[in-house]
Each structure stands twice: as structure tokens, then as C-alpha cells.
Amino acid sequence: MIPSFPKGPRVLDVGCGPGKQTVELLRSGAGIVVALDFLPEMIERVNAEAESEGVSDRLETVVQDMKEMTFPESSFDVIWSEGAIYNLGFEAGLRKFKELIRPGGYVVVSDAVWLKPHPPAEVVEFWREYPEIDTVAAKLETIKRNGYTVLGHFVFPASAWTDQYYDPMEERIAEKVKDWRGIPEAEAVLSEARNEISVFRHHSDYFSYAFFVMGS
Ligand SMILES: C[S@@+](CC[C@H](N)C(=O)[O-])C[C@H]1O[C@@H](n2cnc3c(N)ncnc32)[C@H](O)[C@@H]1O
């Protein structure tokens, strides 16, 4: 989707998590990746992942709240944020990234989208915490309103939620049920995770995540 990818770009991975994408970015042509997350244990995992893949010499890591990013303006050729821009808010995040991306650079994010109208009450309840979930069309408008060009977008298939996320999560829940029995806080975590999976399994036709690739 990116017509002329800059050579050896300096990439910021915002909310990098355990680092799968960070390492993929390093493997697929990034010059330097600056991986940022506010959880030190995530940054430890990114470092370990990059080390084991032999790409750590081009990785810089930052433990920082994305709401307090202090990079100079126009510091990056590419800003990548998979499943994490919601922590800033979709529009506020795009505005922040606009300051940090160089003119002519690229911003790539994924975020929650409605696939069809009139979701059932339990779906509305589940997404209450993220009021910026919206249709793909509305997200594209927000992107354009913030001075980006849309280079491409696609909606994740249901398998993107299940194969590497909810299926393994269900296995982990089954393992933890016995260990955590009688610990109210832990049981509440399991129950919340089960509810999330159930909402998805019953209603995944109403919502998903979409990937948006844009030029700045
Ligand atoms: C859903 S995970 C996505 C991780 C990774 N991008 C991926 O796709 O696998 C969201 C990440 O954002 C991080 N995060 C959440 N709020 C943050 C904040 N305010 N500042 C920095 N990182 C944050 C979390 O620690 C977590 O690693």
C-alpha cells in the first residue's frame, strides 16, 4: 500500500507490546525501530525477541506513556501502532502522530470498527469503554480531516481474533481455573476474559479491527 517506501526508515512502534511486530518491522526493511511501551516487562520482551532474532542492533526501546511522548517534531519516517492508538483516542492519536511524523512519511494503525448497525445490547455494553469505535467510513473521514491521505485499509477477518488470540486465551483460562479458584480478583479476571470471548464468538459479525495505512 505504500508506493515508495523510504530506504532504511526510522520507525516508531507505539504501544509495541511483546514485540512480534517490532521484530517483523526490523526484518522487513526498517532502518531503526524505536519501540515504545509504558510497561517495562513488555520492553524486556521486545529486547529479548530482537536479540533472539539477531536484529537488536537496530532497535531502540523506550519505557514511556504514549500520552507523554517527547520526541522532537518530524522525528520518524513511519509511525506504526497496532492495537494501541485507542489509548490516546483515535483522533487525538492521529493528531499526535502528525507532529512526530516527517512530511511525506507514513502512519499505519489498527483500530476497532463497527461492521454493521444496531449491535445487540451486550455488544454495545462491551464497547462502552471505547466510544471511538466507529464505521470504517467514519474512520476514513477522521483520517482525512486530520490531514492524511488514505493509501489503503482492510478489515481483519475473524480468524485474526481467534487463531492467535482467543483460542490460546481459552486454553490459558482452562489452565488457570483450578489454580485461581477462591481468589476473587483472579476469578473476576477470568470471568471478564470469558465474557469478552463469548461476545466475540456470538457477535463477530458486528465488529472487528481494521488496518489503516496513510500518508502524512
Ligand atoms: C493490545 S496491546 C498491542 C501490542 C502490540 N502493538 C501488538 O499488536 O501486539 C497494547 C499495548 O499498548 C500498551 N499501552 C497501553 N497504554 C499505554 C500507554 N498509555 N502508553 C504506552 N503504552 C501503552 C500496553 O502495555 C500494550 O503493550
State whether 107 and 192 are in the same domain.
no
C-alpha 169 – ligand 1 centre gap (Å): 18
Task: Judge if the beta carbon of residue 16 lies within 6 A of ligand 1.
Answer: yes
Ligand 1 atom with the shortest distance to the CA of 13 = 6
Q: Which residue range is the domain that position 99 belongs to? A: 10-120+129-157+205-215
Position 173 scores a pLDDT of 97
C-alpha 37 – ligand 1 centre gap (Å): 6
Which of 23, 24, 39, 88 gets mutated to test ligand 1 (max ligand atoms within 8 A of its CB)? 39
Beta-carbon count within 10 A of 86 CB: 19
State whether 70 and 84 are in the same domain.
yes
* 3, part of any domain: no
Confidence of residue 4 (pLDDT cuts 50, 70, 90): confident
The structural domain count of the chain equals 2
Ligand 1 atom 10: the closest Cα is on which residue?
84
State whether 209 and 115 are in the same domain.
yes
State whether 53 and 71 are in the same domain.
yes
Task: Judge if the beta carbon of residue 77 lies within 6 A of ligand 1.
Answer: no
State whether 32 and 52 are in the same domain.
yes
Confidence of residue 105 (pLDDT cuts 50, 70, 90): very high
- Convert the pLDDT of each residue in 35-74 to its tens digit: 999 999 999 999 999 999 999 999 999 999 999 999 999 9
State whether 29 and 91 are in the same domain.
yes
C-alpha 14 – ligand 1 centre gap (Å): 7
Q: Which residues of 191-208 are buried (b: 16+ CB within 10 A; e: fewer)?
A: eebeeebebbeeebebbb
* 19, part of any domain: yes
Which of 16, 65, 67, 109 gets mutated to test ligand 1 (max ligand atoms within 8 A of its CB)? 16
Which pTM value belongs to this model? 0.95
CA 127 to chain centre: 16
CA–CA distance, 65 with 212 (Å, rounded to integer) = 23
CA–CA distance, 5 with 59 (Å, rounded to integer) = 19
Residue 5 has pLDDT above 80, yes or no: no
Position 103 scores a pLDDT of 95
% of residues, the chain, pLDDT over 90: 95
* 53, part of any domain: yes
- Convert the pLDDT of each residue in 126-167 to its tens digit: 999 999 999 999 999 999 999 999 999 999 999 999 999 999
